[in-house]
Amino acid sequence: MRAIRVASAALLGMTALTLSAPAAVASGGDDHYVMSNGYGVLPATVAAGGQVTLQVDRVVSGCRGSVTVSSGAFDTVTVPRGSSSAVALVDRYAKPGAMYRVTFSCGGLGAVKDLTIAAVPPPVPEPYPVPQGVRAGEGGTVAGFDLQEIGLGAALIAGSLAAAYHFARRRGGADAA
């Protein structure tokens, strides 16, 4: 009875492991595409006419020779042996909003990454306004004021002085009595 339980558990575990693991190798013609660990396209979204950096992590990918990188978005580029990256110029006429397949090939094995062409070019920032300088020469003069403003200011000052005098005189008389 115990042997049946152990065998069932082992079979169930193997089935779960088989169905949950991603396919590491998918055959397609002569090349075999492995999981794309160790390869990268930076940035993953670029405007038509821009540049992308094609990266190869030699330790993770296991590739020791030169790497050939091809795509419909740019000409074929080779990352030489001993180098970890190369730069590719994206075609000016690449279709905006399209996703292109980037294929890395090294010794019969390869990887695939996606490159997206930006749908709209980024907005060009507007230049800052040129400062015109300070308006000087009017400080302390009557320029720029009209007679109503001057009269109103003078009336406020006279009123506050009169109120201060009145209250000062009133206190002085109350204290004497």
Q: Euclidean distance between the first and final Cα of the chain, in Å?
A: 119
Mean model confidence pLDDT for the chain: 76
Chain segment 135-176, per-residue pLDDT in tens: 666 555 556 667 888 899 999 999 999 999 998 887 655 555
**pLDDT at residue 162, rounded to an integer:** 94
**pLDDT at residue 32, rounded to an integer:** 47
Tallying the residues shown for the chain, one arrives at 177
Helix, strand, or coil (residue 26): strand
Measured at the CA of 64, the angle between CA 61 and CA 68, to 5 degrees, comes to: 80
Q: Which domains does the chain have, with CATH numbers?
A: 35-111 (2.60.40)
**pLDDT at residue 74, rounded to an integer:** 92
In the numeric block, which tokens belong to residue 66? 């030169």
CA 126 to CA 85: how far, in whole Å? 35
CA 168 to CA 172: how far, in whole Å? 6
Q: Which residues of the chain have pLDDT under 50?
A: 17, 21-32
**pLDDT at residue 10, rounded to an integer:** 55
